[in-house]
């Protein structure tokens, strides 16, 4: 990076896309090699089973699966959220599949959120920032990272572990979503404990890190992951983080309901993003028929449901 942003402010890019696409839906891609769409396996075709090519073949099939999901469900969405674990488990070919999926999403006009929930001591946080939104200087010239538009981060290690991530995001025109209250049942065990509860401490931290990093939309590049499964908390979290974009997982399979999420969207049309993975990609299991058609329909329905919420 040579000073100045590569791109406009993340929240402004997001706000423009929300306006243009009339959508606040994020397509989550958590590809499971054991349940790829049949068309992905067919399109890939050439793979022979087992042996030393299993890994490379699987990674290529994963790319085709993600491509098909993006082509069908993408038009109803503003971004994809790529679950890094699902690519990492395929090793080096999996990371290559991740890179290819980033490119495909971008070609389809979608922002890319790298969902890795990284968090580490400052020197290592800088390395993660290089991996996700920056580049790494080296003896043979700089090495470009993934080039994500935004990423998720785990704040447990505290402010000094987050500053390098936020600074790198700012330099790249990217966004950083801090975990504040996750959507899993076990979240209550630690995140809701204490007085004030840990999730309020995390919310204050996210607000402080982001409050002077707002775009012309008034929204900050420091966002928050706030599970849709605990709608009762959202109003308080919005109070604590008036400028944060809320990334809302947990609608559908995990039990969250779109109509309960109003507080998330109150300050701005782009202040809340509903992320859905299995309820779109695996919609055909419930709806029947073609996976692509079912995914397109599920994404479109979710777009409409979220579209009816406030946000100016």
Positions 36 through 65 that interact with a second copy (CB under 8 A): 36, 41, 47-51, 53-55, 57-58, 61
Bond from prior residue into 196 cis (ω within 30 degrees of 0): yes
Comparing CB distances to a second copy, the nearer of 30 and 260 is: 30
Among the listed residues 90, 285, 259, the one whose alpha carbon sits nearest the alpha carbon of residue 101: 90
Helix ranges restricted to H, 74-158: 84-88, 91-107, 122-133
Residue 36 per-residue DSSP state: -
User: Number of residues in contact with a second copy, rule: CB under 8 A?
Assistant: 80
Burial class (CB in 10 A: 0-12, 13-18, 19+), 211: middle
Q: Which of 21, 24, 65, 117 is catalytic?
A: 117
Contact segment (CB under 8 A) with a second copy among 12-20, 72-80, 123-131, 262-270 equals 123-131
- Distance in angstroms (rounded) separating the CA atoms of residues 283 and 74: 14
Q: Is 116 helix (H, G, I), strand (E, B) or coil?
A: strand
Say how far apart CA 289 and CA 194 lie, in whole Å.
48
Binding-site member from 9, 37, 119, 273 for a second copy (CB under 8 A):
119
Instruction: Tell me: does residue 226 bind a second copy (CB under 8 A).
Output: no
Looking at 6, 8, 20, 185, which residue binds a second copy (CB under 8 A)? 185
- Contact between 236 and a second copy per CB under 8 A: no
Q: Which is nearer to a second copy, 136 or 310 (CB)?
A: 136
* Active-site annotation holds for 117: yes
The CB-of-270 to a second copy minimum distance in angstroms stands at: 25
Residue 279 binds a second copy (CB under 8 A)? no
State the catalytic residues.
Answer: 117
């Amino acid at each position: 990076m040579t000073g100045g942003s590569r791109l406009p402010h993340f929240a402004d890019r997001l706000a423009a896309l929300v306006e243009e696409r009339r959508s606040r839906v994020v397509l989550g891609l958590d590809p499971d090699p054991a349940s790829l769409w049949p068309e992905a396996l067919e399109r890939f075709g050439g793979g022979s089973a087992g042996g030393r090519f299993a890994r490379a073949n699987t990674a290529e099939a994963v790319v085709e699966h993600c491509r098909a999901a993006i082509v069908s469900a993408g038009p109803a969405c503003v971004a994809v959220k790529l679950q890094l674990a699902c690519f990492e488990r395929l090793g080096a070919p999996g990371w290559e599949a991740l890179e290819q999926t980033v490119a495909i999403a971008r070609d389809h006009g979608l922002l890319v959120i790298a969902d890795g929930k990284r968090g580490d001591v400052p020197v290592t946080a800088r390395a993660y920032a290089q991996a996700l939104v920056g580049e790494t200087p080296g003896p043979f010239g700089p090495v470009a990272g993934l080039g994500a538009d935004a990423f998720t981060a785990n704040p447990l290690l505290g402010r000094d572990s987050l500053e390098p991530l936020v600074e790198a995001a700012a330099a790249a025109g990217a966004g950083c979503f801090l975990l504040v209250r996750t959507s899993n049942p076990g979240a209550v065990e630690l995140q809701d404990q204490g007085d004030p509860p840990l999730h309020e401490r995390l919310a204050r931290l996210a607000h402080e890190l982001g409050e002077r990093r707002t775009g012309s939309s008034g929204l900050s590049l420091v966002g928050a992951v706030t599970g849709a499964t605990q709608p009762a908390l959202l109003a308080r979290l919005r109070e604590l983080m008036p400028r944060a974009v809320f990334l809302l997982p947990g609608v559908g399979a995990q039990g969250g309901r779109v109509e309960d999420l109003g507080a998330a969207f109150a300050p701005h049309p782009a202040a809340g993003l509903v992320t859905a993975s299995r309820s779109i990609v695996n919609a055909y299991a419930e709806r029947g028929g073609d996976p692509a058609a079912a995914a397109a329909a599920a994404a479109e329905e979710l777009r409409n449901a979220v579209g009816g919420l406030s946000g100016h």
